[in-house]
Structure 1
Amino acid sequence: MFAVYADSFANSASDPLTGLVVGERPDPVVPEGWTTVTVKAASLNHHDLWSLRGVGLKAEALPMILGCDAAGIDADGNEVVVHSVISDPDWRGDETLDPRRSLLSERFQGTLADQVVVPKGNVIPKPASLSFEEAACLPTAWLTAYRMLFVQGDLKAGETVLVQGAGGGVATALIALARAGGLRVFATSRDEAKRAKALELGAHEVFESGARLPVKVDAVMETVGRATWSHSIRALRPGGRIVISGTTSGPNVDDAELTRIFFLQLSVVGSTMGSRAELAHLVTMLDATGLRPVIDRVLPMTEARAGFAAMAEGDIFGKVVFTR
């Protein structure tokens, strides 16, 4: 079958695509209790670039089909969205807390292919109101944003939230979902065009990275890391909370702001992906509200290298989606 996969790891951080192959792989074997999903659309994530660098993916697992997110048709003919967190079969409860959990494209072959095989419990019904391209954006970036805001962040309508680094898939999802959830939304970006797009997406006000805000916020959604950490902490009101789900600029901060954290009684909360139940809630929310993911570009999977290159260069606003 056709697939986009990692055959080796990048030679350098500046050239992450050296191990990327677009070609043929064997058809998948379907274990008992699993199902085959014929992929109609799959979206790209930073996780895929990290995989090409050897982060979270072991050399002995190569070659590995990349991709966490997909929407398609399961073995019974149902239109479905794929949940990419694979938990231990005996695990009960929130799959993201299973210490033995994995993601598609880490221990199990991923979604950038004609077919992907997943446990039957990992497929969520896709409503007719969502296209395959839209639905394929949800399982990582949009689910991560949903959990950050409404589960780990516990934000309520009327509160104020700052989204750092408008432009990426998670950040655009955060802005759109926060606005739909009745929050007052601030967003930052170094790029003037991305700030303008954040306003179109629903942000109430936008600012250059590091700029002083007009008010202290109830919560900050942090996916950037080192470059924005101090600004995030300083933007919070006393008792506020920062929810972190990524460190695209690096994890090693120059100043952790520990004094400010304890003196102002701030909460630092980690957030990773989301559960199957939360994905179902997110899908229902989009079906009910008409809210849709921001898609930067749709490419045939045969042109996957161009999509990977655009993400590596930071030249996107929203999601990159591949179709079959």
Structure 2
Amino acid sequence: MLAAFVATPAPEDPLSVLEVGDRPEPEAPEGWTTVQVKAVSLNHHDLFSLQGIGLPQERMPMILGTDAAGTDPDGNEVVVHGVVASPGWTGDETMDPKRSLFSEVHQGTMAERVVVPKRNVVPKPAELSFAEAACLPTAWLTAYRMLFVRSGLRPGSTVLVQGASGGVATALIKLGSAAGYRVWVTGRSEEKRAAALALGADQAFETGARLPQRVDGVMETVGEATWSHSIKSLKPGGVVVTCGATTGFNPGAELNRVFFTQLSVIGSTMGTRDELDDLIQMCRITGVRPQIDVELPLSEARDGFARMLEGRTAGKIVFTI
């Protein structure tokens, strides 16, 4: 079957080890099922996998991809929840110390077919296309959990989203705007800032710019490049929610400002199956839809990876099968 995979890591040149070609058909063990993939979205996690970050050589070759939408063996349209809990785990899957994502321990979703635990299959409503649904389990679910579960903020709060054009950032803008938050964003270019305003952001600023006033919360996906600005942008008692660090994991600590102004720093990772179902229903009811930058056939995956690596994104990159 056709798949996008990695057989050896390349920390300095990830695109050089991206392979798109034939892989063996998967076999579903007991308690698992096979999903015929119709669409899968690209995430920074996939670039990290090409670099060998979180994916050692001994687990390769590994099919990439953490989320997908498709059909089950009975023809039902489904969305795949990307967090794989350990056998017997109950409760919040993101708190399982032995959890993994597809493409870390188990083969990923960037293929014609993928096997997944039956509990990881969520019904897809007809109102969502396969491409839209494929954007939800990683980037959009991450944004949903950050904003509605972890932040403690309420509609009417002012939220700063660092980095206006990535998958999580565009999800935060659209979800926050739909739920009644005042959403401010930063972006590196005038084009990215204009795109964020078109998505529903109230104001857009240059990266690192002094804001008109301090904000209630900051949603952080960028890391080292924006961390100091995030901390300095918060009101006393404000909260920064971080889910990743695409520019590096060594931010300036700003600890004096954290304790003196009594800030909260909250980590957030992915989301639960129930939260994914809630997110799907929110999209169905409100009409909010993922911002898709480009749809490409899986055979042209290299072009999509190059767009992400070079920062040429304005929403999600989706591969269709």
TM over 0.5: yes
Partner residue, 2:292:
295
| Matching residue within 30, 43, 46 for 1:45 | 43
Partner residue, 2:6:
6
Structure 2: which 5+ residue stretches go unaligned?
A: none
- The one-letter code matched in structure 1 to 2:5 is Y
Partner residue, 1:313:
310
CA deviations over 1:157-214 (Å, ceiling 9, x no partner)? 1111000011110011011111011000100011110000000000000000111111
1:250 counterpart SS class: coil
- CA offset at residue 8 of structure 1? 1.0
Normalising by the residue count of structure 2, what TM-score does the alignment of the two structures yield? 0.99
Root-mean-square deviation (CA, aligned residues, Å) is 0.7
Alpha-carbon separation, structure 2, partners of 1:156 and 1:123: 30
1:321 counterpart SS class: strand
Alpha-carbon separation, structure 2, partners of 1:55 and 1:154: 31
Partner residue, 2:276:
279
- The one-letter code matched in structure 2 to 1:133 is A
- The one-letter code matched in structure 2 to 1:7 is A
1:41–1:132: 8 Å Cα contact kept in structure 2?
yes
CA deviations over 1:102-121 (Å, ceiling 9, x no partner)? 00000000111010100001
Alpha-carbon separation, structure 2, partners of 1:236 and 1:191: 23
| Matching residue within 116, 119, 124 for 2:117 | 119
- CA offset at residue 323 of structure 1? 0.5
Partner residue, 2:253:
256
Asked if 1:265 corresponds to 2:240, the answer is: no
Normalising by the residue count of structure 1, what TM-score does the alignment of the two structures yield? 0.98
Alpha-carbon separation, structure 2, partners of 1:138 and 1:153: 19
Alpha-carbon separation, structure 2, partners of 1:157 and 1:268: 20
Misfit runs of 4+, over 2 Å: none
- CA offset at residue 154 of structure 1? 2.1
1:247 counterpart SS class: coil
Alpha-carbon separation, structure 2, partners of 1:155 and 1:274: 17
CA deviations over 1:207-248 (Å, ceiling 9, x no partner)? 001111111111000011111111100110010000000111
Partner residue, 2:146:
148
Alpha-carbon separation, structure 2, partners of 1:252 and 1:230: 11
* Matching of residues 89-128 of structure 1 within 5 Å: 89-128=87-126
1:80–1:125: 8 Å Cα contact kept in structure 2?
yes
* Matching of residues 162-177 of structure 1 within 5 Å: 162-177=160-175
Partner residue, 1:200:
198
Alpha-carbon separation, structure 1, partners of 2:141 and 2:74: 25
Alpha-carbon separation, structure 2, partners of 1:60 and 1:257: 39
Structure 1: which 5+ residue stretches go unaligned?
A: none
Alpha-carbon separation, structure 1, partners of 2:152 and 2:113: 36
